[in-house]
Amino acid sequence: MTSNWDDVRIHRELLDWSFDYQNDPGLFRSLAFIFKENEDLDERSFEAAMWERIQSLADKDAWLEQPYDNRVSPDPNDPHFSLSFGGEAFFVVGMHPRASRPARRFERPALVFNLHDQFEQLRKEQRYERIRQTILERDRDLSGTINPMLARHGENSEARQYSGRLIEDDWACPFRDKRASVQEPE
């Protein structure tokens, strides 16, 4: 998780995943990268390593001149922010053994990439709220409370949710996409 050794391979998988989805869209697809080493990262260290991986992946996307999904914003401070790889927007769920939220605990560090478009399709089909409510109820049953970082897309930047850590009000996202200066969301 703290090494960039596999970033090219991970990025290639994200591109393939994006292109496959563009050719054959379907619901409930996620792509998880599970890292070999449990480096015993605390929440802040995990979050830092997660953003280093995300930055490296986004830099590769920009270097390969992949378009930024114009349905979302590349600005992590914008409520309409999402990551973009191969022209498709993604929401990331970070997981690791020392996560404070039980729902974010996993035996090794992992990054789960969910296609943003899936959430939009669920909204169009009027299924999103029911699924979201089930997730919130399960989180409350598991943790005793609903994760205070959860927000709907467009209410607050999803960047605040990626690591799963309860972040401070003055938190600043360390991510900057090189394509941000040339991209405006629709």
Q: How far apart are CA 159 and CA 79, in angstroms?
A: 9
Report if residue 1 sits inside a domain. no
Per-residue pLDDT at 111 exceeds 70: yes
**Residue 12, pLDDT score:** 97
pLDDT tens for 34-93 read 998 767 899 999 999 999 999 999 999 999 999 999 999 999 999 999 999 999 999 999
How far is CA 19 from each of CA 8, 23, 45, 183, rounded to the nearest angstrom?
A: 16, 6, 32, 20
Q: What is the average pLDDT across 7-14? A: 97
Instruction: Find the Cα–Cα–Cα–Cα dihedral 103, 118, 11, 7, rounded to 10°.
Output: -10
Q: Which domain holds residue 94?
A: 7-182
Q: Is residue 118 part of a domain?
A: yes
Who wins on pLDDT, 145 or 89? 89
**Residue 51 in contact with residue 174, Cβ under 8 Å?**
yes
Query: How many domains does the chain fold into?
Result: 1
**Is 178 among the domain residues?**
yes
Does any domain span residue 2? no
Mean per-residue pLDDT, 6-17 = 96
Higher-confidence residue: 154 or 65? 65
Is the Cβ–Cβ distance between 4 and 56 less than 8 Å? Answer: yes
Q: Is 59 part of any domain?
A: yes
